[in-house]
Amino acid sequence: MTHSHSTTESAAGTAPEDVDLATYWESRYAESSGMWSGRVNAVLAAVVGDLPAGRAVDLGCGEGGDAVWLASRGWHATGVDVSATALRRCREAAEQAGVADRVETLEADLAQWRPTAQADLVTASFLHSWPLTIPREEILHTAARAVAPGGHLLVTSHAAPPPWADPHATKDYPFPTPEGDLAALGLREEIAAGRWQVLRCESLTREATGPDGQRGELLDAVVLVRRLA
């Protein structure tokens, strides 16, 4: 559906209202030979690093930085994305890292995607798609249903634009809060009944570098929940 995008690049895009999501992101990926760093998202690495490897699904995997990292740590990872070009680059990255046998890709709009099997880990890192809108709450509901008993769901979001972002591009965007993302999972009753456990629901800051070398501090919303066996 969308990808592990940085606010700096996503917020800079513009698109006519009648352009569909796949067409928009395909055109974005065609602009360069590589849109993202290829590195794992820092929150994912910090939070998932100690979990035992199993089956993982990365929603909005982009060019596969997270999926390849997971595979390198023994996970069998499936990357789901709306862009065929991004998924091709994900497979190429997996081959270069020697983990192609543990990385699968699936081309799908996350608004229509439904899991065919449950996973031990479901991740959604920076599930945004400026300037197009996506049914984010619906996607997060589906993500929760994809978690196997005993498994984890990690949602990491941009909670604010970076200092170098164009304020006109982000002024109307509803940046999520950790509490908002937790509520969007639709698990309130399940948590109250003891069927899910909230492990993290917090805002974290991190240092980052902008497109022109600017240094700044970014704010992330992080939610980690576990489905109890």
pTM to 2 decimals? 0.88
**pLDDT at res. 34:** 54
pLDDT at 11: 37
Residue-wise pLDDT for 81-99, tens only, equals 999 999 999 999 999 999 9
Closest to 224 (Cα-Cα) out of 144, 146, 141: 144
Q: Which two tokens stand for residue 155?
A: 């949602």
35 band by pLDDT with thresholds 50, 70 and 90: low
Residue whose tokens read 């983990």: 99
User: For 15-19, 41-45, 184-188, 213-217, which range has the lowest pLDDT when averaged over its residues?
Assistant: 15-19
pLDDT confidence band for 29 (50 / 70 / 90):
confident
Q: Looking at the predicted structure, is the pLDDT value of residue 26 above 90?
A: no
At 68-77, the pLDDT tens digits run 999 999 999 9
Q: What is the pLDDT of residue 13?
A: 45
Per-domain residue ranges of the chain: 3-227
- Residues ≥6 apart with Cβ < 8 Å to 8: 162, 164, 165, 210, 211
Q: Can you give the pLDDT at residue 122?
A: 98
The pLDDT, as a whole number, for residue 164 is 86
Alpha carbons 86 and 25: distance in angstroms, whole number: 9
Would you state the pLDDT for residue 12? 40
Residue among 68, 101, 112 at smallest CA distance from 86:
68
Query: Cβ(159)–Cβ(177) under 8 Å?
Result: yes
For position 17, what pLDDT does the model report?
A: 55
Which tokens sit at 46? 């910090």
- pLDDT value, residue 132: 72
* Closest to 62 measured CA to CA, from 43, 42, 34: 34
Tell me which amino acid residue 104 is.
E
Q: 175-220, pLDDT tens digit by residue?
A: 999 999 999 999 999 999 999 999 999 999 988 888 788 889 999 9
3-state SS, one letter per residue, for the chain = CCEECCHHHHCCCCCCCCCCHHHHHHHHHHCCCCCCCCCCCHHHHHHHCCCCCCEEEEECCCCCHHHHHHHHCCCEEEEEECCHHHHHHHHHHHHHCCCHHHEEEEECCCCCCCCCCCEEEEEEECEECCCCCCCHHHHHHHHHHCEEEEEEEEEEEECCCCCCCCHHHHCCCCCCCHHHHHHHCCCHHHHHCCCEEEEEEEEEEEEEECCCCCEEEEEEEEEEEEECC
Give domain 3-227's CATH architecture. Answer: 3-Layer(aba) Sandwich (3.40)
What value does the mean pLDDT take over residues 140-168?
A: 93
